[in-house]
Amino acid sequence: MQTFDIKPLFQTAQSFDRIWDELNTSFSLDHRGYPDYNVLRTDETSLRISLAVPGYQQSEISVETHEGALWIRGRKDVDPHHNQYLYQGIRNQQFERSFQLPEHVKVTGARLEAGLLHIDLVKEVPEELNRRQIETKVDQGTEITHTAEAA
């Protein structure tokens, strides 16, 4: 199993095109993974990861975060003697897929819809880390406003 790092998707210093170029480069290393997935930018601070999980029920999938990573696991309890397949092209295997989460990124929800598992992520930077205006006063009574970044 290969872990995909989505940190570059949330870096605001990079241009939009460069982020997607890096993402496509990362994907090209992971063609043999299961299940297949997409990463969609829904707005400036949000992403959606969609995994193709046909045939899986909600009770057979777990989504959790642990030590800065998002873990998705699927397990089907299938009796091999119940059905006698002539051809089985739909996978019914266990899977485990993980994504490294950047700092301040939280999973806001997950839903299973038409064979796709959608997991929504949002970047929530604490107020003390955001850029803010600092008012600076001068002795002559003239105000000067500077932009400063909090540490």
In the predicted model, is pLDDT for residue 140 greater than 50? Answer: yes
Answer yes or no: is pLDDT of 122 > 60. Answer: yes
Boundaries of domain holding 30: 4-124
Q: Is 139 inside any structural domain?
A: no
- Burial of residue 97 (CB within 10 Å: 0-12, 13-18, 19+) is buried
Q: Are 13 and 131 in contact (CB under 8 A)?
A: no
Tell me, what's the pLDDT at 2? 64
CATH code for the domain of 98? 2.60.40.790
> Is the residue at 148 inside a domain?
no
pLDDT at 118: 98
Separation CA 20–CA 46 (nearest Å): 15
Q: Is residue 140 part of a domain?
A: no
Q: How many domains are contained in the chain?
A: 1
Q: Which of 12-21, 93-102, 103-112 has the lowest mean pLDDT?
A: 12-21
Confidence class of residue 32 from pLDDT cuts 50, 70 and 90?
A: low
